């Protein structure tokens, strides 16, 4: 396989401006590329979202590469040094929206499968790809519905590598063996509006909220565990007032978010928040929204295969981490016992002039191929 095969495919994918939830036939391009290898592909679409499930083989173990063909909007194009959808090489970097998140991973998946199938035409088990165009958006019609369908069919996934950009300073220094959950709240504290000169006739919700908020911020929610840092609580928005300096507001609204580990549950976090608010005697309304549950893959056959492949290819000892935001791994973990995320350096993702190191693209492909060899060769 030519050394430029992955780079050529990355370029072809970046050139398709597949801003979420658009796919712009990225997945059909991939399906056509996989067909000569014996992959059977199907499209599962809903709500304007395109999902691809492609599988080679019908026995276990089943190794799945998962990812997304959609990208975030590029932002003001005049701020880019080159067109975000014209892949451009400069000084050893390939620039374009999706270069790191995550079209280089997808291209590496494909070429790794091509090389592996050529070297091991009668390999054990099966290989599959699960791709969506709804990861950067609401994620309601993407990976989650494919996982539901696979569960309905009784398809058993054994290993899954999600191609999210996980590396920090160098390719291979970090992979994710889990992610924290996300729980958001909208707290509306009720007061009584009035004139600031007559505070005895008003009830200031900001003053009422402040002591409770101080206690919430100071809480130790848990201590984390071997794989997870402690759960964090952050206030993201605080709004109140009419804009006038002589009016006591009638309501104060706080938006906050928990990033929580497996050491806590959403039910426990909610109960503790309500207990603090009630103890301060607040009159309030609360709306909760859970963005994702935490998942964890302890050290085992998948992490061993991947970290060994990284070491063989780069000489780097990988750090297993659970930091960062949520990903589609949270859906896959419900039907697959071992899920790990690994991909290129994430320093430029979602930014102007997103990039990937050209010299890291083929090693990324080789790591994916070496991992396949360890699991199903």
Task: Return the active site residues.
Answer: 70, 135
Q: Do 46 and 141 touch, CB atoms closer than 8 A?
A: yes
Q: Do 375 and 168 touch, CB atoms closer than 8 A?
A: no
**Paired tokens of 305:** 């295969």
CA dist., res. 277 & res. 356, Å (int) = 47
Q: List phi, psi (to 5°) of 108.
A: -65, -40
Q: How many Cβ atoms are within 10 Å of 136's Cβ, its own excluded?
A: 22
Q: Do 14 and 6 touch, CB atoms closer than 8 A?
A: no
CA 57 remoteness from chain centre: 28
- Tracing tokens 């809480």 back to the chain, one arrives at 219
Q: How many Cβ atoms are within 10 Å of 119's Cβ, its own excluded?
A: 13
CA dist., res. 367 & res. 362, Å (int) = 9
CA atoms within 13 A on the CB side of 22: 9
The C-alpha torsion from 158 through 119 and 6 to 355, rounded to 10°, is 50
- Tracing tokens 């780069």 back to the chain, one arrives at 314
**Paired tokens of 303:** 């992490």
- Tracing tokens 């109960």 back to the chain, one arrives at 271
Closest by CA position to 310, among listed 371, 235, 233, 376: 371
Rg of the chain in Å (alpha carbons): 24
CA dist., res. 111 & res. 90, Å (int) = 24
Which of the 8 DSSP states describes residue 229?
Answer: P
CA dist., res. 144 & res. 139, Å (int) = 7
Q: Do 203 and 192 touch, CB atoms closer than 8 A?
A: yes
């Amino acid at each position: 396989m030519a050394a430029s095969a992955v780079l050529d495919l990355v370029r072809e994918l970046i050139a398709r401006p597949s801003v979420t939830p658009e796919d712009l036939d990225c997945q059909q391009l991939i399906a056509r590329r996989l067909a000569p290898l014996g992959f059977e592909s199907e499209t599962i679409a809903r709500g304007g979202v395109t999902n691809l499930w492609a599988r080679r083989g019908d026995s276990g173990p089943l190794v799945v590469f998962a990812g997304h063909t959609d990208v975030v909007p590029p932002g003001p194009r005049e701020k880019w040094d080159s067109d975000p959808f014209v892949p451009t090489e400069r000084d050893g970097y390939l620039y374009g929206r999706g270069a790191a998140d995550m079209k280089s991973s997808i291209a590496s998946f494909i070429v790794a499968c091509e090389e592996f199938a050529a070297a091991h035409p009668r390999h054990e088990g099966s290989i599959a790809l699960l791709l969506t165009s709804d990861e950067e958006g609401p994620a309601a019609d993407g990976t989650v519905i494919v996982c539901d369908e696979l569960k309905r069919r009784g398809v058993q996934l054994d290993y899954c590598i999600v191609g999210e950009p996980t590396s920090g300073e160098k390719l291979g220094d970090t992979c994710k063996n889990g992610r924290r959950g996300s729980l958001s709240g909208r707290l509306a504290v009720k007061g009584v509006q009035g004139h600031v000169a007559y505070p005895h006739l008003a009830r200031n919700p900001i003053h009422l909220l402040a002591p409770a908020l101080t206690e919430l911020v100071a809480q130790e929610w848990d201590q984390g565990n071997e794989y997870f840092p402690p759960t964090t609580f952050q206030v993201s928005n605080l709004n109140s007032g009419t804009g006038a300096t002589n009016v006591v507001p009638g309501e104060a609204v706080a938006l906050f978010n928990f990033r929580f580990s497996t050491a806590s549950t959403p039910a426990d976090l909610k109960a503790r928040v309500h207990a603090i608010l009630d103890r301060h005697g607040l009159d309030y309304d609360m709306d909760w929204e859970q963005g994702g549950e935490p998942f964890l893959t302890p050290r085992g056959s998948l992490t061993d295969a991947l970290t060994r492949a990284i070491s063989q290819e780069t000489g780097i000892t990988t750090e297993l981490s659970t930091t960062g935001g949520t990903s589609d791994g949270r859906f896959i973990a419900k039907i697959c016992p071992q899920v790990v995320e690994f991909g290129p350096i994430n320093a430029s993702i979602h930014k102007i002039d997103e990039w990937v190191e050209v010299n890291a693209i083929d090693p990324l492909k080789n790591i994916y191929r070496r991992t396949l060899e360890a699991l199903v060769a």
